[in-house]
Structure 1
């Protein structure tokens, strides 16, 4: 199952153009009633191009209309209208958060895009132990509000300028997942607009089938309009540490030891530095070395290096205790001693660290470029074979973007949700977070997609047991393979909650009336 390419997007555009010529697009009879709906918000029918872009910046499918909801009832009324048109209508509905999808997953070609951020700030309410957040709220705003009460959600993504509903529709994974599980394992309740236009409140106790279906459900069963998220006491400060390894075995064994230890760090991630040139990237920018003299003498000789990134949370009065705990934990690790770098930052500064990099890239016009990302979940039993082939043979030069590699525990993932993961207690998230700033050569989309295809093909031929995360397949057969034994449950839930396949057409899992699924 190769990753989608620009050729795929071009083919889809051609098919959509042919559909328009044969009248398989919404006509005025279908769209005109939208303007007559009694709404707190409004529709846009002309200035819709912004909703045809996403972070991946590879596919652009214009919607017929954009809903700027002023309330949840606006979303429900819109979906009910589309549902009432029946099977013959080509209209679909896609919920768009911050537009951070990669291959048009939040787009709706000639359909309706719901701009979920219009609901931001409407009902962000912090309680003792949980926060109620609108589905269109950004996680950074959730954090800022909960910190006012000395609280914070337990699990995060590395980038906080994403919407609550967006990450919960996938999984939401970061360096805290080894302890708390992904974000979908830390939700107490959801409010959802189903594909029939019903507004349903659900939890593990009430309407549990829909609750678990929507978590990691890729938007297929309903639009998440509110989430009740578990909180914990928030620390004031973070000791942020980076160290380097030159040996993959030591790097992974140390990570696995840390995620299984009763007393460990609070955040554990790793990344790979493909360093053929001998010039290190900015992996230690803004960090203070423990030994400045040794650090100044550290030289790279073109090896592949592995960076372990760790944090220890603490409050202002607990610095000495934190120092002692960190020293004990570091003494158990086998990193290159001269590469110990650390800094102390606020909890907010650490969690929002990627946004700082974003601002720098935006200033250089390097943020809104194509991002042909590939995210994989690799079983522990296969990670060394995977690394030998991918980092030793396929990736022959420095990568245009970070390569994440860190383990998580299956037992921390709620197996009732729609998320598909490898069937081993420890598995690794491996993320190739490439950018494509140039039209040709090493920095091009073609180059990145070729490498992605080689990596996926190797995984399939070598029976690595890989699952893609944030996957985008082009046929239902590929999706069936992805879900495996869980496909039957996924399909049953689709027929129950979105029987006309109205929702999230950009995932291309279930066909809508007159739009082709296979390319």
Structure 2
């Protein structure tokens, strides 16, 4: 059987293209890839879409877009670009559901691979047994993984808050949500990967087979390979969720209660926190469909001008065990120091809870508030610096109600595999602090610039106060900043890049490495 790589190289010869391409061959609009023989197709009509992402701040046009019909299509394309060597500027970016924030899945003048196309040809397979798992394409959405595995009464152990993201996308970062304190991030719940390296090699890897590549790719920001399949650990899925929100006015009580809960053996199944700055009418907007335990007391709670801290928790249960679940929840709540009148609760299906953000997305889309700039800032803050951080950020830098939620909750370092590429604070407990801003276009460019300036002030404070933060979904403009981010792991990271993607073909939008081109 003729290999896709051979077909690509033959097409290269037949179309009269040689490896000594001029710079003009790499500009948008070049159509040489369209004539290559693959099972899928290259297109140019959707380059604008491929240059747009959720962050909506960068718009870098690729030369062409690959809709792969097989893993071989992607491997052959990478091999082709690799064999062009240093004579070509072409790079390749794997694009999932387009949820990058700063152009990380864009490839200016290069090739964007639409990973979701792979799901049409490569299906999921759920495996039962004492250690169940699902094999799923890298371009599959987590929501589809959930729906597929729920058919068998199973589900992945760790999630992100938003499920309309691809497997390869979240595993290239970490994948965290309120379950991570107990289950670890998503990258701690993967058994095996199929990866295409920057040389075009298709490699199966795990903690016992090609283990260096396996751990490098997990949290590797797409620098070492394109994830085309993942074997994800599963557990028995609950049917229902007890969903609880309470409010605090004291930050110390808020954080101490969170830390107590994530260190306890018997605790909730999901724990997250939110910061609510200077909002009025908060109990009407914030509680959504939740019911107050005491409606009269709740109606008397005044929120004007206060910075409030919301603790959100869930307890999984099956309907036949409802009484037992309620007893456990009441015991846990009795240990907490929230404002008693602000206990709000609800009971929903497991699927409804996990897909909760999608409901908000639908509402925002109707209002035209989804496809706008999202200048998010996600930080991992060491526990020892969280109070100094909060005093400055929530007390001085952020004084008005913000356009978007602010998440703040602790994670256990012991649940993270230190062999992966993710860089986290060197403390046993650290906090995710996520500023999930929106910059409505109706507010003009000033809204975006104001938020970006605000982000810079937050980062500058952390630097001056020597709070050893790490960015989650990191974005830096200079090599020096990347060196600082990786710290003592920078040289190791560079060496792995040289081994698995020596020409720096993959994930150019991360702006960590730049492809070198030989002079004519």
Q: TM-score, normalised by structure 1?
A: 0.93
Aligned pair 1:41/2:40, yes or no? Answer: yes
Q: Distance in 2 between matches of 1:300 and 1:444?
A: 26
Q: Distance in 2 between matches of 1:393 and 1:25?
A: 51
In 1, are the aligned partners of 2:86 and 2:517 still within 8 Å (CA)? no
> Residues 446-501 of structure 1: CA distance to partner in whole angstroms, max 9, x if unpaired?
11111101000000110000001111111111111100011111111100000000
In 2, are the aligned partners of 1:435 and 1:443 still within 8 Å (CA)? no
CA 1:123 to 1:382, structure 2 compared with 1: closer, same or farther past 3 Å? same
Q: Distance in 1 between matches of 2:127 and 2:467?
A: 44
Quote the residue 2:114 is aligned against: 115
Q: Distance in 2 between matches of 1:178 and 1:192?
A: 28
Q: Distance in 1 between matches of 2:163 and 2:488?
A: 33
Quote the residue 1:8 is aligned against: none
| Deviation (angstroms), 1:296 | 1.5
Quote the residue 1:81 is aligned against: 80
Quote the residue 2:491 is aligned against: 488
CA 1:486 to 1:281, structure 2 compared with 1: closer, same or farther past 3 Å? farther
In 1, are the aligned partners of 2:34 and 2:43 still within 8 Å (CA)? no
Quote the residue 2:307 is aligned against: 304
Aligned pair 1:92/2:95, yes or no? Answer: no
Quote the residue 2:414 is aligned against: 411
> Residues 143-197 of structure 1: CA distance to partner in whole angstroms, max 9, x if unpaired?
0000000000000000000000000000000000000100000000000000000
Aligned pair 1:126/2:130, yes or no? Answer: no
The 3-state SS of whatever aligns with 2:306 is coil
Aligned pair 1:474/2:473, yes or no? Answer: no
Aligned pair 1:369/2:369, yes or no? Answer: no
Q: Distance in 2 between matches of 1:176 and 1:446?
A: 34
Quote the residue 1:455 is aligned against: 458
CA 1:101 to 1:28, structure 2 compared with 1: closer, same or farther past 3 Å? closer
| Deviation (angstroms), 1:33 | 5.0
Q: Distance in 2 between matches of 1:27 and 1:419?
A: 32
| Deviation (angstroms), 1:123 | 1.9
Quote the residue 1:214 is aligned against: 217
Q: Distance in 2 between matches of 1:44 and 1:238?
A: 44
CA 1:431 to 1:443, structure 2 compared with 1: closer, same or farther past 3 Å? farther
The 3-state SS of whatever aligns with 1:272 is strand
In 2, are the aligned partners of 1:277 and 1:398 still within 8 Å (CA)? no
> Residues 358-390 of structure 1: CA distance to partner in whole angstroms, max 9, x if unpaired?
000001100101000000000000000000000
| Deviation (angstroms), 1:35 | 3.0
Q: Distance in 1 between matches of 2:26 and 2:61?
A: 15
The 3-state SS of whatever aligns with 1:190 is strand
The count of corresponding residues between Structure 1 and Structure 2 is: 494
CA 1:278 to 1:354, structure 2 compared with 1: closer, same or farther past 3 Å? closer
The 3-state SS of whatever aligns with 2:243 is strand
Quote the residue 2:426 is aligned against: 423
In 2, are the aligned partners of 1:400 and 1:443 still within 8 Å (CA)? no
1:48-87 to structure 2, matched below 5 A, reads 48-87=47-86
Q: Distance in 2 between matches of 1:414 and 1:424?
A: 14
1:202-351 to structure 2, matched below 5 A, reads 202-275=205-278, 282-351=285-354
Quote the residue 1:400 is aligned against: 403
RMSD value over aligned CA atoms?
A: 1.8
CA 1:166 to 1:101, structure 2 compared with 1: closer, same or farther past 3 Å? same
In 1, are the aligned partners of 2:33 and 2:64 still within 8 Å (CA)? no
Q: Distance in 1 between matches of 2:26 and 2:504?
A: 19
Q: Distance in 1 between matches of 2:384 and 2:376?
A: 24
CA 1:389 to 1:199, structure 2 compared with 1: closer, same or farther past 3 Å? same
Quote the residue 1:164 is aligned against: 167
CA 1:347 to 1:86, structure 2 compared with 1: closer, same or farther past 3 Å? same
| Deviation (angstroms), 1:281 | 6.8
| Deviation (angstroms), 1:30 | 12
| Deviation (angstroms), 1:297 | 1.4
The 3-state SS of whatever aligns with 1:86 is helix
Structure 1 residues without counterparts, runs of 5 or longer: 1-21
Quote the residue 1:15 is aligned against: none
In 1, are the aligned partners of 2:278 and 2:399 still within 8 Å (CA)? no
Q: Distance in 2 between matches of 1:290 and 1:279?
A: 16
CA 1:443 to 1:293, structure 2 compared with 1: closer, same or farther past 3 Å? farther
Q: Distance in 1 between matches of 2:339 and 2:114?
A: 48
Q: Distance in 1 between matches of 2:285 and 2:143?
A: 25
| Deviation (angstroms), 1:40 | 1.6
Q: TM-score, normalised by structure 2?
A: 0.92
| Deviation (angstroms), 1:28 | 8.9
Q: Distance in 2 between matches of 1:494 and 1:406?
A: 33
